[in-house]
Structure 1
Amino acid sequence: MNEELIDSGNLPLARKSVLPGTGFFLPDDLEEDLEDEEAAAALEGAEVAVVADPDADGLACVALLRAAYDDVAVVPEPDEEDAALEEEDLEREPSDADDTALEEPEPTPHAVALLPASPHDVEDALARVAEYGDEGVDLYVCDLCPDKYEYVEDELAAALETASRVSWYDHHQWDDEVAAAVREAGVDLVVGDSDAECSADVVYRSLEYEFDPIYEELAAVTRDHDLWLREDPRSDDLADYAYWTDPAEYVEVVRKYGADLPDWVAEFIAERRIEKEALIEQAVGRAELREVGPYTVGITYGRCSQNEVAEAMREQGADASVIVKPAGSASIRGTDEFERCHEVAGKVNGGGHPKAAGCKPDIYDDMLDYANHWTTRGAVTKRVILEAFHEVVESEDAADGDETDGDDLEAAESTKSGD
């Protein structure tokens, strides 16, 4: 295939907005081989392995762990960032890989090794720790939650045989049975309140280590974005920087600078935001509002920053928002009026928080399905997610009806007793 056909770097913005990144079209085997090599290089000689979501929250957990283990700091020089300004926008989603070229991994000097993972492939990262980690390595899993225990059961068992101990720190909505099974396997699982803590908060309070105040502030600013509080403008900078730069670089920069990113990073973020804002505008322009029971659901399609698009739909009157991505996945965002996003996502192969969740409906059997997805701007995906909304709302109505019936019965019995 002509590489120019899958290189979205030079596409007009309107076309780039509706197509996935170059990495989406690369064979899974190629990506898996590269990830194997990177994991082997990172774990060679490492005392600690950290499997973490490569967003700002997951990477803050890695920064905290490297501080606690007094790991070497390797901060990039500002001039190394100049070339990155010209790189293509990254789609850091489980099924939508980077537009950047694949490169051979380089050995890392870190005693605390980072293995980035998404909720959809955490089992692969655990398997790599079992295969490439040194006997007796400390293993931490951060900011990740398996939907079902059987998804990670075998790989976690293998990792437990290699590691001296396994700690799992998270703040997502865990199924009680999954949490119990993980703990019974021998894992120290700590799950924070998803309405009050991010995963970095959980790590900060769980480690027996006296952190520099810079890390307490880092966790607080990370929480501001991860819980969508948006009270500290620095939190958007952290989220964007984590999204656009290499995970290893992000960890080392926040270890040195904390939440107050240096000027050269601010310049990098400002440059990238020009295109980010344009892609947001494209997605917002496609937004539709649908009525689902008593709720208004905003729904759109595009390669974009989902939180800002969801906020724009909220301002248009949406109680919940759905952003369908070209790679087939979708982000679901709620408000104070709708706090059941994780239930909606759970019906379409996903999960998350009451106000923030993600999913990828199991509806793509071949490339023709994806072609239809791109040309119809996610019509099938939108339909199945809206159907999931209807199911959740109907179950809510049924529950309310049962409570009302119970109240009526109690009132009737009280009246009868009075007679």
Structure 2
Amino acid sequence: MYDELIDSGELPIARKSVVPGTGFFLPDTLEEDLEDEQTAAALEGADVAVVADPDADGLACVALIREAYDDVRNVPEPDDEDAEDAESDDGARADDPAVDTEPAADAVDDADEAAVALAAGEADAPLEEPEPTPHSVALIPASPHDVEDALARVAEYGDEGIDLFVCDLAPDRYEYVEDELDAALETASGVAWYDHHQWGDDVAQSVRDAGVDLVVGDSDEECSADVVYRSLEWDFSPMYEELAAVTRDHDLWLREDPRSDDLADYAYWTDPAEYVEVVREYGADLPDWARDFLEERRVEKEALIDQAVGRSELREIGGYTVGITYGRCSQNEVAEAMREQGADASVIVKPAGSASIRGTDEFQLCHEVAGKVNGGGHPKAAGCKPDIYDDMLDYANHWVTRGAVTKRVILEAFRDVVEEAEADGDDATVDDE
């Protein structure tokens, strides 16, 4: 296949909105090889491994743990020449037609695509070398769909007696991670797991019984960074308390602090290793050069949001209005636009086959809906990827029909959840768990 056929970087926005990024088209074997190499390099000589979701919340957890272990790096401020170099060749990656330097997919909801994107270096890095030397606290990015693979890699490549943390990730079932967690426990001196998602009581108990120090925060009140901040025995400076608070503002979709959008976008668009060190240096107040980088990126971001909002439609399901759309976009802003149109809950179906589900005060069972279609999350924010794609023809149909089948199965899940809640005499604004 010609490289340009899977490189969507130069496509017009209308076409770019409906197809996945380059990472989606790379084979799993390449992804696995790249992740093996990167994990082995990161863990070489490391005293600590942190398996974390590479969004702003998960990466804030890494920053806190590195601070607690005194793993310090100084972040250079790029001068004009460095910025031009980063823009033109992104560390010599942009000249490689096989690698797409457009933003990596959302790491929570587009788990499969994001894993390849991060491994292949698709995330932009304004600094030339975001992680020039090995850290004693190694970052191992993982999605909710492949946390078991990350645990297995720590078991294989980590030194005997390494400390292991797992942050901002929750398995839907214990058997998904059972063997890999056992292997990691044999290698590590101890495992601490910090999260704030919805955990089943049986899953949480099984993880604890395996020997893990599991702390799960209230998903309505805390983000995972909050959990790490209060759980580690370390006297953090006020900067880190503020970082956790601003991260929470976006992760729980409170949107009371404008800086939280900056953190979320920067984590989304830049290399995870760079993000960690930048917030270690500057906290929640990003430097001017980082904000300039965000402003440039947001031109395309807003255009993709407009495309998805333009495709949106509203459906009535059991007394609730559900907005649904399709597109490669920032799902939270699109969900907010549908809420303003009257949606009690919103579904954003992505070209990679996954979907984001967002609720409101009127509908707080998003995690229940996602749970019926191979996903999970919070009462007001969840993600899923329905198990309906058997071959590339199914994906081709997905792109051409703008996610018609995926929309149908998720709306059916909405109907089932609403009907079950009504049968039980519950209200969709109440979280039964």
TM bin (shorter chain): over 0.9
1:6-25 paired onto structure 2 within 5 Å: 6-25=6-25
Tell me whether 1:94 sits opposite 2:111 in the alignment. yes
- Aligned residue for 2:125? none
- Please, what TM-score do these two structures have when normalized by structure 1? 0.93
The separation in 2 between residues aligned to 1:212 and 1:100, in whole angstroms, is 31
Counterpart of 2:192 in 1: which secondary structure?
Answer: strand
Aligned partner (choices 251, 274, 284) of residue 259 of structure 1: 284
CA radius of gyration, larger in: 1
- Aligned residue for 2:203? 178
Q: Which string of whole-angstrom CA distances, capped at 9 and with x for unpartnered residues, describes residues 63-105 of structure 1?
A: 0000000002142432445444464222133122466893699
Counterpart of 2:424 in 1: which secondary structure?
Answer: helix
What amino acid maps onto 2:27 in structure 1?
P
Q: Contact 1:85–1:272 at 8 Å: present in 2 too?
A: no
Counterpart of 2:388 in 1: which secondary structure?
Answer: coil
Any unmatched runs of 5+ in structure 2? 89-100, 123-128, 428-433
Q: Contact 2:373–2:413 at 8 Å: present in 1 too?
A: yes
The separation in 1 between residues aligned to 2:120 and 2:364, in whole angstroms, is 39
- Aligned residue for 2:96? none
Q: Contact 2:21–2:105 at 8 Å: present in 1 too?
A: yes
What's the Cα RMSD here?
1.8
Distance 1:101 1:333, change over 3 A: closer
Tell me whether 1:340 sits opposite 2:365 in the alignment. yes
The separation in 2 between residues aligned to 1:103 and 1:339, in whole angstroms, is 36
Tell me whether 1:387 sits opposite 2:415 in the alignment. no
- Aligned residue for 1:316? 341
Q: Contact 2:74–2:281 at 8 Å: present in 1 too?
A: no
- Aligned residue for 1:250? 275
Distance 1:207 1:100, change over 3 A: closer
Q: Which string of whole-angstrom CA distances, capped at 9 and with x for unpartnered residues, describes residues 157-206 of structure 1?
A: 00000000000000000000000000000000000000000000000000
Distance 1:100 1:127, change over 3 A: closer
Counterpart of 2:111 in 1: which secondary structure?
Answer: coil
Tell me whether 1:29 sits opposite 2:29 in the alignment. yes
Q: How many residues align?
A: 402
The separation in 1 between residues aligned to 2:119 and 2:195, in whole angstroms, is 32
Q: Contact 2:58–2:224 at 8 Å: present in 1 too?
A: yes
1:360-371 paired onto structure 2 within 5 Å: 360-371=385-396
Aligned partner (choices 112, 120, 123) of residue 148 of structure 2: 123
What amino acid maps onto 2:36 in structure 1?
D
The separation in 2 between residues aligned to 1:318 and 1:90, in whole angstroms, is 28
1:28-107 paired onto structure 2 within 5 Å: 28-79=28-79, 80-85=82-87, 87-92=101-106, 93-97=110-114, 102=120
The separation in 2 between residues aligned to 1:209 and 1:101, in whole angstroms, is 32
Deviation at 1:226, TM superposition (A): 0.3
Tell me whether 1:303 sits opposite 2:321 in the alignment. no
Counterpart of 2:425 in 1: which secondary structure?
Answer: helix
What amino acid maps onto 1:133 in structure 2?
G
Give aligned-pair identity as a percent. 81
Tell me whether 1:155 sits opposite 2:180 in the alignment. yes
The separation in 2 between residues aligned to 1:166 and 1:370, in whole angstroms, is 38
The separation in 1 between residues aligned to 2:8 and 2:118, in whole angstroms, is 10
Distance 1:101 1:198, change over 3 A: closer
Distance 1:115 1:340, change over 3 A: same
Q: Contact 1:41–1:108 at 8 Å: present in 2 too?
A: no
Q: Which string of whole-angstrom CA distances, capped at 9 and with x for unpartnered residues, describes residues 371-408 of structure 1?
A: 00000000000000000000000001111299xxxxxx
Counterpart of 2:278 in 1: which secondary structure?
Answer: helix
Deviation at 1:108, TM superposition (A): 3.7
The separation in 1 between residues aligned to 2:255 and 2:48, in whole angstroms, is 33
Any unmatched runs of 5+ in structure 1? 403-419
Stretches of 4+ aligned residues off by more than 3 angstroms: 79-87, 97-108
Q: Contact 2:34–2:119 at 8 Å: present in 1 too?
A: no
Q: Contact 1:42–1:108 at 8 Å: present in 2 too?
A: no
The separation in 1 between residues aligned to 2:315 and 2:219, in whole angstroms, is 28
Aligned partner (choices 305, 310, 313) of residue 285 of structure 1: 310
The separation in 2 between residues aligned to 1:345 and 1:376, in whole angstroms, is 22
Q: Contact 2:370–2:376 at 8 Å: present in 1 too?
A: yes
Aligned partner (choices 354, 358, 382) of residue 357 of structure 1: 382
- Aligned residue for 2:216? 191
Distance 1:83 1:348, change over 3 A: farther
Tell me whether 1:269 sits opposite 2:287 in the alignment. no
Q: Contact 1:342–1:355 at 8 Å: present in 2 too?
A: yes
